Amino acid sequence: MVRVLSEAHSGSATSTGSFVLNAGCHAARRPATSFRRHRRDIGFGELQVAAHWVEYAKGVLLFVMAPDDDRSGAFYVYDRERRNFWLLEPADGVFGGYSLGEMRRKIRAFRLLDFAQNPACLR
């Protein structure tokens, strides 16, 4: 696993990104136009639920949860160009997952949308 400290953030709110997988190995070669259309092809099936996502031209911010576990949420970025998934880990001392209620606060506090808008900062 590759760990990268975000250069997109300044101040105390930081996050790290860990490479998870390349979806090109798991999905047919076609443009990644809509996450909704391709989410099953790239590995989100029965074990995880994409509870929330925000799409941009270069990437997608995903909030993924296990069914029936209210504190299992994790943040991922999908890089459309490289077809890579990155696990985002806000530097907040939480290591056991997030709830839906915490999701929006963490997205704002750690500027997680910046990673989806420009996934190149994770490379």
Does pLDDT of 42 surpass 90?
A: no
pLDDT at position 13 over 60: no
Asked whether 39 and 26 are in contact (CB, 8 A), the reply is: no
pLDDT reported for residue 87 = 92
68 CB-near residues (< 8 Å, 6+ apart): none
Reference 62, options 25, 96, 88, 101; nearest CA is 88
Which sequence spans correspond to the domains of the chain? Answer: 3-122
Report pLDDT digits (tens) over 49-106. 889 999 999 999 999 999 889 999 999 999 999 999 999 999 898 877 999 999 999 9
Torsion of Cα atoms, 52 then 20 then 86 then 92, to 10°? 80
pTM over 0.75: no
pLDDT score, position 114: 96
